Chains A and B, each alone.
With several copies, the nearest count.
Chain A
Amino acid sequence: MPALEFDINKIKNDFPTLKQSINDNPLVYLDSAATTQKPQSVIDAINEFYTSQNANVHRGRHTLSEHATTLYEQARDKTADYFNVLSKEIVWTKGATEAINLVGNGLRSRFNKDDTIIISALEHHANIVPWQVLSQQTGAKLIALPVNDDGTLNIKQCSDFIKQNKPSLLTITQASNALGNITNLEPLIKAAKEINSLVLIDGAQGAMHLKPDLRELNCDFYVCSSHKMLGPTGLGVLYGRYEALNALDVYQTGGEMIDKVYLTHSTYRPAPAKFETGTPNIAGVLGFSAALDYLDTLHSSNIQQYENDLFTYAVEKLVSIDGITIYSNLSNNIGTLSFNFKDEHPYDLATLLDGYGIAVRAGHHCAQPLMTHLGLNGTLRASFCFYNTHKDVDIFINSLKECIDLLD
């Protein structure tokens, strides 16, 4: 692909939320790991749906319903294209969390005390608690991959760990939401596949920044959230290799997912339909469709290059401040800086930064086990996205210095 221009001014301009002032300062939004801002085209798509296309999908004979259904199913095709998989392998959920729960529930009748589930200590709570529940329900053993002191995985050690423990399921994040570290997935998946383990990848943080080719990645399941990839809230994606997907037990039941319903029993449709009951988040799906279109116009290689440059710049500036400790792996990162200043509480610095219009997050970032492992109560997290500018970094760093001065 020819090197395309990445016009950051134009891009930033596409995101209306970024144009506002917070506490009389221009907003510097560094909380994209929590949720990304939305381009105007996504907002417009939602608006258009409710203004002129609103109807329930499937089974409607009238034009509005037909049209909404077509757009809704086209969004599934686009999602499948984005990840290089088949449309029938895409299930809409309400978020990454629900997608993981769906898989956990779907394995319940198959797992027992002879099964082992491997997670890592890097995981978001969404990829920990559902497996604790499955373990309690079935007796399956739940163990965690060893994590280095810097929050990274020793891949050789982890691969051995997998081969030794022969899990039925390996479930691991593509990138840490707390530190931004990117997991080197290929060798881990290879190790798991050698012993025929199922593999689930939590792509909540990776799906937009890294645009994985899931066919190539060779995982069985992959989950992500629309709201973390420029799309609307209330929507997630579950990819499942068709055979693995269709083999899962049904999760929620009701309308749409059924074939025949009698008073005493029912029959279900094949995947993905059998996992999609009730009226879906239609506006969410159509907005997500627009988000994928938008990402497509930018090209993922350009996004990655720009984000890497920006991250390198931010790291350089941040390390130059005396007393700062950065916990993120700086060489392989989706653009998230997790740090502390001396032994100051992140709450104070986050509150003060907000005074300067800077949105960062403070706390355990839904990764308590990781924080415990690192011996921390929490960190300040500044997470970048391709709509952030070098000027954002400058304002952030200068404001941080002023906040530090305020603490004395």
Chain B
Amino acid sequence: MTNTFKKVTESIDKASAWQQKYREIMLLGKTLPVLPDVLKTDDALVPGCESKVWMFVEFDLKENTLVVIGDSDTRIVKGLLAIILALYNGLTPEQVVNIDAYEEFDKLGLISHLSASRGNGIKAMVDKIQTMAQHKIS
């Protein structure tokens, strides 16, 4: 696990009440830079979500690392996005495929936000990151 991720999720991990957990998630969302409006294209929108989620998963050829960018118009989803970014951003494809977002979300008590039925876009983002990493490896 990256240090960023540990630092980022420490407060969530520590939160005892669920209210506190959500408060930390939303605070995390506030730390995420706002995506410039020009990047909020329909193409970047994750389809089928109640909330708007824009996401980009790119590959930095020079550094051999994944670059993940995202934004959302809701506080909670944006906070969850921040966790995903902290989890995967700047890692090599080999590192990415070894990190299981489901496990990490489970540990954080947030697994329900990654369920297929939640149309919040987080699962779609994880899937896209993993697919991209797999693709780069093979």
Contact = CB atoms under 8 A, between A and B. Distances in A.
B129 to A, nearest CB: 21
B27 to A, nearest CB: 11
Contact of A23 (B18, B75, B116): B18
Nearest to B119: A59
B51 A269 contact: no
Interface string A49-64: 0000000011101000
Given A355-B22, A406-B19, A363 B76 contact: no
Interface of A: 23, 57-59, 61, 66, 69-70, 72-73, 259, 269, 344-345, 347-348, 351-352, 355, 362-363, 377-378, 402, 406-407
A322 to B, nearest CB: 19
B22 A66 contact: no
A70 B50 contact: no
Contacts of B112: 66
A348 B18 contact: no
B50 A363 contact: yes
B19 A70 contact: no
A351 B76 CA distance: 8
Given A70-B115, A73-B116, A378-B50, A355 B18 contact: yes
B18 A259 contact: no
A16 B115 CA distance: 26
Interface in B44-102: 47-48, 50-52, 73-77
Range of interface residues on chain B?
20 to 34
A66 B117 CA distance: 6
Main secondary structure of the interface of B (DSSP, over half): loop
B26 to A, nearest CB: 7
Most buried by A among B73, B112, B117: B117
B51 A345 contact: yes
Given A66-B112, A73-B116, A355-B18, A269 B73 contact: no
B23 interface: yes
Nearest to B23: A406
A347 B129 CA distance: 24
Contacts, number: 56
Contacts of A402: 19
Contact of A345 (B19, B47, B74): B74
A73 B74 contact: no
A69 B117 contact: yes
A378 B18 CA distance: 25
Given A352-B22, A363-B50, A407 B75 contact: yes
A240 to B, nearest CB: 20
Interface string B30-42: 0000000000000
B14 interface: no
Given A73-B116, A362-B50, 15 more contacts: A57-B117, A59-B50, A61-B50, A66-B115, A70-B115, A269-B47, A345-B75, A347-B77, A351-B22, A352-B22, A355-B19, A355-B22, A377-B52, A402-B19, A406-B26
Given A269-B48, A406-B22, A348 B74 contact: yes
B26 A70 contact: no
Contacts of A72: 117
A66 B118 contact: yes
Contact of A348 (B19, B75, B116, B117): B75
A351 B52 CA distance: 15
Contacts of A70: 115-117
A31 to B, nearest CB: 14
Top 4 closest A-B pairs, CB basis? A69-B117, A345-B74, A347-B74, A347-B51
Given A351-B76, A362-B50, A58 B18 contact: no
A73 B50 contact: no
A259 B18 CA distance: 33
